[in-house]
Amino acid sequence: MKNLIPFIVIIAIVIGCNSSKSGFNATDSLVANDTIKIENDSLEYQVIIIDTGFNSWLVSTAKPRGYYSERYLEDRNYIYVQEWNNRVNQPSRYGIDLYEMRIDYDRNIHYGYEVNYLIYNYMIYFQIKNNQRLSGFVPRP
């Protein structure tokens, strides 16, 4: 049984864990409300992204799968998630509208390419859409 850990309320990415699996072979499926969901029967981690406009941005603007190495995506995701969580912990400074919940991302867990690809691209999309900077890197698709 998959456990789901939501980390954004209205704009949601969800990672679920099942500790007995070791690989990630996922398929994308578009569901209602511009939601991207990656899952299959032997899923170790699950990503659900709900944000109007993200799917069309991903298809039309984001670099294609394979453009970045998995290591690159993992390193950037770790930086972005650390800053995201820092902002969640400072609601008086950053507000609660954009940074509602912590993201449970552990750099010691192998999430696989597809999960890291979607998280990375969502972080880029989020920064561009909301005029935010989660690191010293300028977010570029």
> Which pLDDT tens digit goes with each residue over 13-41?
444 433 333 343 434 444 445 666 665 45
The pLDDT of residue 28:
43
Q: Over 90: is that where the pLDDT of 49 sits?
A: no
Q: What is the pLDDT of residues 68-98, one digit of tens each?
A: 999 999 999 999 999 999 999 999 999 888 8
Calculate the average pLDDT of the chain.
77
For the chain, the structural domain boundaries read: 3-130
Q: Over 80: is that where the pLDDT of 64 sits?
A: yes
- pTM for this entry: 0.73
Distance separating alpha carbons of residues 18 and 99, to the nearest angstrom: 26
The edge-to-edge listing of strands for the beta sheet with 47-50 is: 27-31, 35-39, 47-50
Mean pLDDT calculated for residue range 113-126: 94
Mean pLDDT calculated for residue range 38-57: 74
The pLDDT of residue 35:
66
Sign of the CA dihedral running 107, 108, 109, 111: positive
